[in-house]
Structure 1
Amino acid sequence: MMKRCRSVIMVGTLVCVLSLMGSTPALARFLTGQTAPTFALKDLDGQMHDFANVSDQPLKILYFFDAKARISQEGLLSLNELAQKYKSADMLVWGITRSAKSDAHRFKTGSRVDIPILLDSSNVSDLFNARVVLPIVCIVGPRSKVLHHFQGCGKRAEILLTRLAEVQLQRGKPTLAAAISDQVIKENPKNVDAMKVNIISSLERGQPETARKMIDRLPTDQEEAKVFKQEGLAQVYFKTGDFEKAWASAEKLEQISPERARSYIIKGEILAQKGKVEEAEKELTIAAKKKTALKYQSARVKNRIGLIKARQGKNREAIELFSQGEEIDPYFIEATSNKGVALERQGQLDQALEAYRQALMVKKDDVYASVLIRSVQEKLTIENDAEKKKRMDSLIKSLADRYRQQKDEKKDRSADAWTSGPMVLSFINLKEGGGLPDRDGFVLVLADQLSDYLNSSGRLKVVERRYMEKILDELNLSTSELADPQTALKLGRLFAAKLICTGSIHYLPDQTLVSLRLMDTETSMIAKVFTRQIAASGALDRELGWLNKEILKTIISTYPLRGYIVDAKTDAIMINIGKNQGVVLGSQFSVLKDAEDIIYKGRKLKGTPETIARLEVTKVEPDFSLARIVTQKTPVQRDAKIEEIISEI
Structure 2
Amino acid sequence: MDLVHALRGPDHRLLPAGGSKTGAAGSHPASRPGKNHQKRPAGAVGTGRKVIHVQIYSPGSHCRRPAAKTSPAADHQQQNLQAAEEERAKRVDALVDELAKRYRDNQISAAAAGDGWTTDRAVSLVFMEVKNSGVSSTEADYILGRVAEKLMNLGRFQVVERQVLDKLMAELKLSSSALADPATALKLGKVLSARVIATGSMVREKRNWLVSLRFIETETTAIKASLSTMMTGTEMAEIADQLAGKVAEKLRHTYPLQAKISSVDGEKAVINIGSQSGVVKGMRFNVLDERDIPLGQVTVTAVGKTESRIQAGKDAVPLVKGMRLREVQ
TM over 0.5: yes
The Cα of 1:507 is off from its aligned counterpart by 4.6
- Given candidates 571, 591, 609, the residue that maps to 2:287 is 591
The Cα of 1:486 is off from its aligned counterpart by 2.2
Tell me what 1:424 maps to. 124
Q: Is the 8 A contact 2:139 2:236 kept in 1?
A: no
Q: Is the 8 A contact 2:225 2:250 kept in 1?
A: yes
The Cα of 1:588 is off from its aligned counterpart by 0.7
Q: 1:406 to 1:621 in 2, by over 3 A?
A: same
- Given candidates 611, 626, 646, the residue that maps to 2:309 is 626
Tell me what 1:543 maps to. 239
Larger RCO: 1 or 2 (CA < 8 Å, sep 6+): 2
Q: Is the 8 A contact 2:225 2:254 kept in 1?
A: no
The code of the aligned residue for 1:515 comes to S
C-alpha separation between the residues in 1 aligned to 2:81 and 2:169? 21
The Cα of 1:462 is off from its aligned counterpart by 1.5
Q: Is the 8 A contact 2:272 2:308 kept in 1?
A: yes
Q: Is the 8 A contact 1:534 1:540 kept in 2?
A: no
Q: Is the 8 A contact 2:126 2:198 kept in 1?
A: yes
Instruction: Name the one with the larger strand percent.
Output: 2
The code of the aligned residue for 2:312 comes to I
C-alpha separation between the residues in 2 aligned to 1:486 and 1:421? 27
Tell me what 2:296 maps to. 613
1:450-475 Cα deviation digits (max 9, x unpaired): 11221222232222222222222222
Tell me what 1:555 maps to. 251
Tell me what 2:223 maps to. 526
Tell me what 1:188 maps to. none
Out of 525-534 and 618-627, give the one that drifted further. 525-534
Aligned-partner SS, 1:506: strand
1:452-501 Cα deviation digits (max 9, x unpaired): 22122223222222222222222220344222122222222222222111
Tell me what 2:192 maps to. 495
C-alpha separation between the residues in 1 aligned to 2:241 and 2:177? 32
Gaps of 5+ in 2: 1-5, 8-79
The code of the aligned residue for 2:277 comes to Q
Q: TM-score, normalised by structure 1?
A: 0.36
> How many pairs does the alignment contain?
252
Q: Map of 1:244-643 to 2, 5 A cutoff?
A: 385-411=85-111, 415-422=114-121, 423-433=123-133, 437=135, 441-508=138-205, 511-534=208-231, 538-569=234-265, 572-594=268-290, 608-643=291-326
Q: 1:387 to 1:442 in 2, by over 3 A?
A: closer
Q: Is the 8 A contact 2:156 2:277 kept in 1?
A: yes
Gaps of 5+ in 1: 1-24, 27-379, 595-607
The Cα of 1:545 is off from its aligned counterpart by 2.9
The code of the aligned residue for 2:252 comes to I
The code of the aligned residue for 2:253 comes to S
Tell me what 1:70 maps to. none
C-alpha separation between the residues in 2 aligned to 1:386 and 1:509? 40
C-alpha separation between the residues in 2 aligned to 1:567 and 1:476? 52
The code of the aligned residue for 1:399 comes to L
Instruction: Name the one with the larger helix percent.
Output: 1
Identity %: 31
Q: Is the 8 A contact 1:459 1:581 kept in 2?
A: yes
Aligned-partner SS, 2:247: helix
Structure with max Cα Rg: 2
1:285-322 Cα deviation digits (max 9, x unpaired): xxxxxxxxxxxxxxxxxxxxxxxxxxxxxxxxxxxxxx
The code of the aligned residue for 2:275 comes to K
**Over the residues paired in the alignment, what is the CA RMSD in angstroms?**
2.8
C-alpha separation between the residues in 2 aligned to 1:383 and 1:472? 26
Q: Is the 8 A contact 1:459 1:584 kept in 2?
A: no
C-alpha separation between the residues in 2 aligned to 1:498 and 1:440? 25
Q: TM-score, normalised by structure 2?
A: 0.68
